[in-house]
Amino acid sequence: MKVTVIGGGSTYTPELAGGLAELELDELVLMDPDRERLDIVGGLASRMLRDRAGRVRLTTNLDDAVEGADAVLLQLRVGGQRARHGDETWPLECGCVGQETTGAGGLAKALRTIPEVLRIAERVRVLAPDAWLIDFTNPVGLVTRALLDAGHRAVGLCNVAIGFQRLFARLHGCEPSKLTLGHVGLNHLSWERSAWVDGVDVLPGLIERHVAELAGECELPAELIIALGVVPSYYLRFYYAHDQVVAEQRGRPTRAQEVLELERRLLAMYPSLNDKPKLLEQRGGAHYSTAAVDLLSSLLADRGDVQVVNVRNDGTLPFLPASAVIEAPSRITRAGAVPLAVPEVEPLQAGLIAHVSAYEELAVRAAAHPDRAHVEAALLAHPLVGQYDLAQGLADRLLAAHQAWAS
């Protein structure tokens, strides 16, 4: 079995490599256009997998990387952390949240990322037509939708759900495999509405006994979680506490600046290590390797288990178009991911899901046609923007930033 990682020079890669050691791989190919970075990161990954997996090979050539692959993992960051820094700063000038996966910053990232991902996917279609594309590249929901719209064999993956599964299992005192989430929403716009252990929903008890820790995880007030009766993902903070987040972001370094420093330190450490360092935990992406290996195993071995992934709606949420991409518990087989039926979604959640899903449809159009009309329409549709003067100002900044990056 051949597995390829596009963006193999990411400092995340040693985390992923540790998980992939569990699979019976003939070849793991790490591909990245930055040869120097690839050699540093790939060197550590190779040492970690020595005698534990098949051959690890490094390449800067896309066709070489994907030809004959059984699965291709996408974890690229077009424009790097410096472009991310822009996504996290210029929206603040208009009084809007600066974030790389939602709002104006998320749209800017989508415009950079989707064309490149589709270019890669076309080479996979030609050179490995039966391969699965597993997308961990943000914004995952938008990228996955663009891939599916273009007819690619793709599943989107995020670590939010598996993080909550691990947290709830720890609080309840059971193994994660014993706990099933009632997860609903879109990528980075999701809620945990239940947590089932042996046929019993333990979430109400977890909220009652551990609301302070759950509130800390979400960075939202405990009284809000009690009132909702569900646990929102951290990303709901950008909606439920938007103005507070903007005020905080204006007074501190961006996450991109923090990650640049972390990456500098990690890349300096990697050449002398044979295993991933503790510092890597600060990089983000907790449990990513576990989620990726679980998904790979199920797609390639036809396990038929249930995992939370990004997949076509196809009627699962009746208030969304069938073509929408949702994040939901899905049955995973060799044929792909099929979302399970979910209980009716409360209006408080359904309204926001529908609003953001409409924005995502327009955002994918804007990535295909990055002109002012499409960009402004997507921004106007986003609930974190929603006003014409804001949409105009943000469109000016986004297009200027996009043109500067492209040149």
d(CA 116, CA 77): 10
Q: How confident is the model at residue 268 (pLDDT cuts 50, 70, 90)?
A: very high
> What is the average per-residue pLDDT within 335-340?
97
Among the listed residues 100, 105, 93, 102, the one whose alpha carbon sits nearest the alpha carbon of residue 401: 105
What's the rounded mean pLDDT across residues 92-112?
A: 96
Q: What CA–CA distance (Å, rounded) separates 125 from 55?
A: 24
- Amino acid at the residue 118: L
pLDDT band of 140, cuts 50, 70, 90: very high
Q: Distance between CA 124 and CA 108 in Å, rounded?
A: 25
Helix (H) or strand (E) holding 46: helix 35-49
Note whether 73 and 5 are within 8 A (CB): yes
- The whole-number average pLDDT for the span 4-19 is 93
Give exposure, 57-95, as e/b (b: 16+ Cβ within 10 Å).
bbbeebeebbbebbbbbbbbbbbebebbbbbbbbbbebe
DSSP 133: E
In whole angstroms, give the CA distance from residue 179 to residue 196.
Answer: 6
Helix axes 372-381, 347-368, angle to 10 degrees: 170
Where does the pLDDT of residue 50 fall: very low under 50, low under 70, confident under 90, or very high at 90 and above? confident
Q: With 90 as the cut, is the pLDDT of residue 334 above it?
A: yes
Q: 52 pLDDT exceeds 80? A: no
Query: What is the pLDDT at residue 53?
Result: 60
Pairing between β-strand 27-31 and β-strand 189-197 as defined by DSSP bridges: unpaired
> What residues are labeled active site?
235
User: How many beta carbons lie within 10 A of that of residue 398, not counting itself?
Assistant: 26
Per-residue model confidence as pLDDT tens digits over 162-196: 999 999 999 999 999 999 999 999 999 999 999 99
pLDDT band at 381 (very low <50, low <70, confident <90, very high): very high
- Encode pLDDT of 64-91 as tens digits: 999 999 999 999 999 999 999 999 999 9
Q: How far is CA 128 from CA 59, 122, 201, in A?
A: 17, 10, 43
Residues 286-326 pLDDT 10s: 788 899 999 999 999 999 999 999 999 999 999 999 999 99
Choose the weakest-confidence range: 12-16, 101-105, 209-213, 225-229. Answer: 12-16
Residue 59, C-beta contacts closer than 8 angstroms, at least 6 positions apart: 29, 30, 31, 65
In the predicted model, what is the mean pLDDT of the chain? Answer: 95
Q: Do 183 and 162 meet the contact criterion of CB atoms below 8 Å apart? A: no
Task: Give the dihedral sign, CA 392/396/401/402.
Answer: positive
H or E stretch covering 58: strand 55-59
Q: CA–CA distance from 303 to each of 294, 295, 314, 336 (Å)?
A: 10, 10, 22, 11
Cβ within 8 Å of residue 120, ≥6 positions away? 6, 62, 66, 72, 74, 76
Per-residue confidence at 281, pLDDT binned at 50, 70, 90?
A: confident
- Among 376, 367, 369, 373, smallest CA distance to 395 is for 376
